[in-house]
């Protein structure tokens, strides 16, 4: 049953079910892009449907940084450990800290989204990212997903920097952006499909916003990420023909986001090196 379901997808034009091998929809005769690449098949017997390649890479970066920050925090003698990192270590590794951002360290708007304050924090965000990331990659394609994630993350922490000092960290700003882009997808499509998508992710949004009222949660980053993800998702639409000019532009935009992220991590490394001296 799972294998059969994996061979089907929806045409982005008429919403009819077609196979993953179709390059032209047999119902509306429109060209369709190939499905987004997946890094693996069903996981845990289908409990988790699949893992998108971009999602897995982001998770690996997050966990790699979490291990590094945990080691530094424990060795710094400031009372931090893997269950709860100290604030200074997080700032050294690129947390959102508005005084530093106003001083020109704009790169913190990006690096903050890859840091987590403790084991529970990263596990909760990773669980949500695995689910949301897979769905967004499936519906929007890998290039659009990267742009949505990048913009949501950066805009979320920009809004946060306007309302609080910090430090603030976590993937949740980008996660709210992924929720926002799926709501945008539901709004773009009329009928049962759009209603279903919009209803499902509106519930996700309500649960997330209620959770945001807990002490220590950065509501501003969540709202900023939601706005960024909704805006990009609404403008992006779904993938069209792979060789089209539009798809080439989205591919360029995704590589630009990757380049900016690399530059931000380089700036973080240089800052950390100076701070450690």
Instruction: Write the CB contacts of 220 (distance below 8 Å, at least 6 apart in sequence).
Output: 156, 159, 160, 162, 163, 164
Q: Mind telling me the catalytic residues?
A: 172, 222
The per-residue DSSP string of 45-79 comes to GGTB---BHHHHHHHHHHHHHHHHHHHHHHHTTSS
- The partner residues of 213 in beta bridges, in order of sequence, read none
For residues 220 and 166, what is the distance between their CA atoms, to the nearest angstrom? 11
Whether residue 202 is preceded by a cis peptide bond, meaning omega within 30 degrees of 0, is no
The two three-digit tokens of residue 109, written as one number: 């708007």
The two three-digit tokens of residue 204, written as one number: 């996700």
The position carrying tokens 């949501």 is 152
């Amino acid at each position: 049953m799972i294998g059969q379901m994996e061979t089907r997808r929806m045409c982005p034009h008429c919403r009819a079910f077609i196979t993953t091998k179709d390059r032209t929809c047999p119902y509306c005769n429109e060209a369709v892009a190939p499905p987004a690449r997946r890094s693996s098949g069903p996981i845990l017997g289908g409990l988790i449907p699949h893992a998108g390649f971009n999602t897995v890479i982001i998770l690996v970066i997050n966990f790699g940084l979490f291990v590094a920050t945990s080691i530094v925090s424990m060795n710094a003698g400031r009372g931090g450990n893997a269950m709860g990192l100290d604030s200074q270590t997080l700032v050294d590794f690129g947390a959102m800290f508005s005084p530093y951002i106003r001083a020109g360290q704009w790169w913190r708007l990006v690096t903050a989204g890859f840091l987590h304050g403790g084991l529970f924090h990263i596990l909760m965000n990773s669980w949500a990212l695995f689910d949301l990331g897979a769905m967004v990659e499936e519906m929007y394609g890998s290039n659009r997903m990267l742009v949505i994630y990048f913009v949501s993350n950066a805009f979320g922490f920009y809004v946060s920097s306007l309302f609080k000092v910090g430090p603030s960290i976590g993937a949740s700003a980008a996660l709210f952006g992924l929720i926002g882009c799926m709501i945008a997808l539901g709004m773009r499509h009329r009928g049962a499909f759009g209603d279903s998508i919009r209803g499902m992710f509106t519930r996700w949004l309500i649960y997330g916003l209620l959770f945001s009222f807990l002490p220590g949660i950065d509501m501003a980053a969540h709202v900023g990420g939601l706005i960024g993800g909704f805006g990009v998702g609404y403008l992006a639409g779904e993938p069209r023909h792979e060789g089209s000019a539009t798809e080439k532009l989205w591919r360029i935009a995704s590589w630009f986001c990757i380049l900016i992220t690399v530059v931000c991590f380089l700036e973080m490394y240089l800052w950390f090196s100076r701070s450690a001296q």
